[in-house]
Amino acid sequence: MSNETRRILLVEDEKAIRDAVTAYLERENYWVTAVGDGQDALEEFQKHHFDLVILDLMLPRVPGERVCRVIRDTSDVPIIMLTAKGEVEDRIIGLELGADDYLVKPFSPRELVARARALLRRVHADSEPQREVLEFGELTIDVSGHKVLVSGEEIDLTASEFKLLTTLSRYPGRVYSRMELVEKVLGYDFEG
């Protein structure tokens, strides 16, 4: 996966730092969404998929610790904490909250980019070979992403419809009995 497809949520209340870090990350071809407070961070995180979050702790509206906890409750996305809180105890708390790395201000933007690159490389190395996409002419089934595209346009399917389509598409030409399909799509416990 190239950097171009990697999305980073940068949460930093100091505009000068936010702009500098954004510029460095964009120079490395990362797609960056930069926000200045915790509430905006949570809203962006709910709306979009991100591959990495860079999070300041001292934020207006919603503190960084709370943002980290909310993100960690719903996602395993890597988080780098970026903060002026540099005491050992602060670092331990940050890591225990769910951060994967911790960088103390002042810092080198180049070091932050290097840490982001290393973290993304480690986190995504295991998941990339598992990506499964099935293509049949105009039909594309992104099994890993649970998406179906027809002529490049996304089609909404229920979970059962998606499982049925995926099951049939993995082995084109194979004949399934009704019971086999029911078991594969609805599970072995289905009675009906």
**Tell me, what's the pLDDT at 77?**
92
pLDDT at 3 over 50: no
Assigned token pair, 145 = 């992403």
Amino acid at 71: I
State the chain's mean pLDDT as an integer: 85
**Tell me, what's the pLDDT at 179?**
84
Higher pLDDT, 167 or 37: 37
pLDDT digits (tens, 9 = 90+) for 137-178: 899 998 877 889 999 899 998 888 888 888 888 777 888 888
Q: pLDDT band at residue 188, thresholds of 50, 70 and 90?
A: low
**Tell me, what's the pLDDT at 1?**
42
Q: Which long-range contacts (CB under 8 A, 24 or more apart) does 66-73 make?
A: 66/38, 67/11, 67/38, 67/41, 67/42, 68/94, 68/97, 68/98, 68/99, 69/97, 69/98, 70/42, 70/45, 71/42, 71/45, 71/98, 72/97, 72/98
**Tell me, what's the pLDDT at 2?**
46
Whether the predicted model's global pTM rises above the 0.75 cut: no
Task: Could you please state the CATH topology (level 3) that the domain comprising 3-128 is classified under.
Answer: Rossmann fold (3.40.50)
Residue ranges of the domains in the chain?
Answer: 3-128, 133-186
The CATH label, of 3.30.1490.20, 3.40.50.300, 1.10.10.10, 3.90.1150.10, for the domain at 133-186 is: 1.10.10.10
Interacting residues of 37 by C-beta distance below 8 A, sequence separation 6+: 11, 13, 59, 60, 61, 62
